[in-house]
Structure 1
Amino acid sequence: MRLPAALAPLVCLAAAASPQAPAPVAAPAFRWTGTPTQGGLIAGTVPTGSVTVTLDGQPIAVEAGRFIAGFDRDAGSQAVLVATLDDGRRITQPLAVAARAWRIERLDTLPKFPAPDPVMAQLRPAELARIAAARAEVTDATGWRQAFRWPAIGRISGLFGAQRIYRGEPGSYHSGIDIARPTGTPVVAPADGVVILAADHPFTLEGNLLMIDHGHGLNSAFLHLSRIDVRVGDHVRQGDPIGAVGATGRATGPHLHWSLRWRDARLDPLLVAGAMPGA
């Protein structure tokens, strides 16, 4: 049936005003900086509306939508982030964890273990207990949010992850970065934090040991110091003096050993702080 000409414009206007299909809404997603890799750390934001977040099934802390997550030196090739939203949905983010090639030194003429040291056997359990207790501390530190800086500037004399093989038997890998500097060179806080261990006497291996919590499971350890300038419970700011380079404990010369951990994952400071200035 033909409409009267007078009504035709009204029909056209009605058609133009009819609602269109809503544009698709993107699903909430994880976003991060950094690369998931062995010894690496990522920092990012969780999907909007996240109530809980896990990495490989383990809960991780989230503050104002922000999180960090680290990957051990020997982490596997896959990890999974999962966010449960307030509406019950689950957002799953698979992560491909990049493998790295480590410096391996083979010593076919030396045994893995030297002669037993009765003094170390007596003292070591208590030292390890103090280190474990310090790492279990939960503080109000917020340094995990910051871009880390180097605690000392100098020649890198030992790389993270390097390992020796003694007569075919692997030894422990190097858990941090060594920075060769003269005794007495100042050491500064790489990020804000709270002091969780300040040894009152040299440990058998670490010498004068200082540990700082940066929050959300991230902490630093500084080994072989000639002196420690802070106390347990002190809040330090990024760049504050905290001690001085030394050669205490088992060290062949003055240097700073700096190690980083996120929970139980040992991290490479080179990936967290970036290249050594001037290198």
Structure 2
Amino acid sequence: MAKNSSVSAEKDHSFSESRHRTQQIFSKVPEITVYFWITKVLTTGMGEVFSDYLVKNINPVIAVLLAGIVLVASLILQFSVRRYVAWIYWLVVVMVSIFGTMAADVVHVILGVPYLVSTLFFAVALATIFVIWYKSEKTLSIHSIYTIKREVFYWMTVLGTFALGTASGDMTASTMHLGYFSSGVLFFILLAIPALGYWLFGLNEIFAFWFAYIMTRPVGACFSDWISVSHTRGGLGVGEGTVSLILTIIIVILVGYLTITRKDIKNEHKES
């Protein structure tokens, strides 16, 4: 009897280990490391200023359509691969950043919706996605992104965080008259709260991650706006085009580094 129990336990352990490895192999997102957060903030800043650059230099309708087409194409590419590929994943994030910025701007500029209202709208929309995702999958962990259904929920959530972050950053900078730099500092402090809560006080990992993820958007957007906009608007006046180019170069170098070193696939290094 004891022998059978031992064999059964070994089989269960073997099955669990095999399932864990399978989930790692087919995971469609990177491990959460310092590289992840650095790249995330850079893509938010790049998406913000490049979106502004596009709508100012070409027809806004054409700019939105082009961004939407490239976003869809990048998502098709992301869903076609069976595991996380750094350059594909971050291409989608960049395009979500650009399109999310445009979506938030359209709601305010074209439809005339105040930033406070659009912020509340995107907050409710994001909360709704979280609720539906959790009821369907019983988890909001990004470590569980190894099915198409969960990946759909994941990218819907990411798009929602970018739209919410853009609207909230514009709200504090414009409606609340804090300016871009002060808004960036404010959201950086808010970003630090879940990080410190997780590291020092055992804050729920999933809640801490998504709270910090949402905050990275206005942090990157506000500081990139501050660097790019004119002195009359409280910025450094570097220009959207120049800032977009510099951030793009940095992102390409960083993603290239991650592609070569695979430092954002932590579990792979542990097993090797």
- Indicate the TM-score class for this superposition, using the shorter chain for normalisation: under 0.3
TM-score by length of 1: 0.20
What TM-score do the two structures reach when normalised by structure 2?
A: 0.21
Larger Rg: 1
Higher helix share: 2
Instruction: Kindly indicate whether structure 1 or structure 2 has the higher relative contact order, using CA contacts under 8 Å at least 6 residues apart.
Output: 2
